C-alpha cells in the first residue's frame, strides 16, 4: 500500500473527465487500495481517482469514523452514475484538493447511484444525507468539477485569495500534495 500525493486546486488533472473502467485489473485494484490509504492518511471521507492523478472513473468513500455511520463499510465505486436525485439540501463541504476552504453547497438530498464494486459487480445504492453528498462530491471530481464551482460568484470571491494561495502552492497540509506550481506537465 502507498500513500499517493493529492493534486491541489489549479492542477490541470482536476479539470479533466475520467474515463470509464472497462476491465478489472491489478492496476485498478492497486489504485483502489492506494486511494484508501491516501484518504485515511489525509483524514478524508471520500477520494476520487482524479485527485491522485489517475483518470479512471474510481472513487472511494469511508464514513465509518463519522457519528451515525459506524456500521457503514468503506466502499469502492467504479464507473458511478447517478440514476435519480430527490429533494435538495445545503451542507458545508470541504475538499482534500482545496485545503482550508469550506463553504455551503446545495445538492440533492437523496440519490440513486449505479456503479460497479471492486470486483466489477454491478450494484445500486440509494444514499441520502452525508453519504449521498460525499458520493456526489466525488462524482463531480470524476467529471472535472470542484465543489467551489457550485458557489455563487460573490462567495467564490470571498475564497479567491485562499484559492490563489493553494494554486501557488502556499499551503501546508499533513499529507503529500502536488500543487499546480510543482506539477510536472
Contacts of residue 104, Cβ cutoff 8 Å, sequence gap at least 6: 90, 91, 92, 93
Task: Out of 93, 138, 167, 170, pick the active-site residue.
Answer: 138
- Give the phi and the psi of residue 77 in degrees, each rounded to 5: -125, 120
**What CATH class does 6-178 carry?**
alpha beta
93-97 average pLDDT score: 98
pTM equals 0.95
**pLDDT above 70 coverage of the chain, percent:** 98
Band of residue 181 on the pLDDT scale cut at 50, 70, 90:
confident
How long, in residues, is the chain?
185
- Is pLDDT above 80 for 182? no
**What Cα–Cα distance (Å) separates residue 172 from each residue in 79, 101, 165, 167, 179?**
32, 13, 11, 12, 11
Q: Which of 123, 77, 124, 129 is nearest to 108 (CA)?
A: 129
**pLDDT above 90 coverage of the chain, percent:** 90
72-88 average pLDDT score: 97
37-46 average pLDDT score: 97
Domain ranges of the chain: 6-178
- Retrieve residue 109's grid coordinates: 438530498
Give tens-digit pLDDT for 124-161: 999 999 999 999 999 999 999 999 999 999 999 999 99
Band of residue 183 on the pLDDT scale cut at 50, 70, 90:
low
167-171 average pLDDT score: 93
Q: Is 71 a catalytic residue?
A: no
What pLDDT does 32 receive? 97
Band of residue 69 on the pLDDT scale cut at 50, 70, 90:
confident
- Is pLDDT above 50 for 17? yes
Band of residue 185 on the pLDDT scale cut at 50, 70, 90:
very low
Amino acid at each position: 500500500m502507498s500513500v499517493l500525493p493529492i493534486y491541489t486546486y489549479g492542477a490541470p488533472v482536476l479539470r479533466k473527465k475520467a474515463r470509464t473502467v472497462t476491465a478489472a485489473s491489478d492496476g485498478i485494484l492497486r489504485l483502489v487500495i492506494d486511494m484508501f490509504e491516501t484518504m485515511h492518511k489525509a483524514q478524508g471521507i471520500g477520494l476520487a481517482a482524479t485527485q491522485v492523478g489517475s483518470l479512471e472513473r474510481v472513487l472511494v468513500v469511508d464514513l465509518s469514523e463519522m457519528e451515525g455511520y459506524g456500521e457503514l463499510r468503506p466502499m469502492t465505486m467504479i464507473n458511478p452514475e447517478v440514476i435519480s436525485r430527490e429533494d435538495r439540501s445545503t451542507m458545508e463541504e470541504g475538499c482534500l484538493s482545496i485545503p482550508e476552504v469550506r463553504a455551503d453547497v446545495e445538492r440533492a438530498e437523496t440519490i440513486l447511484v449505479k456503479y460497479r464494486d471492486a470486483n466489477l459487480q454491478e450494484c445500486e445504492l440509494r444514499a441520502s444525507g452525508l453519504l449521498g453528498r460525499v458520493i456526489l462530491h466525488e462524482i463531480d471530481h470524476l467529471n472535472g468539477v470542484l465543489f467551489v464551482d457550485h458557489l455563487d460568484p460573490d462567495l467564490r470571491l470571498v475564497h479567491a485569495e485562499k484559492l490563489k494561495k493553494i494554486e501557488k502552492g502556499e499551503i501546508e497540509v499533513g499529507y503529500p500534495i502536488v500543487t499546480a506550481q510543482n506539477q510536472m506537465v
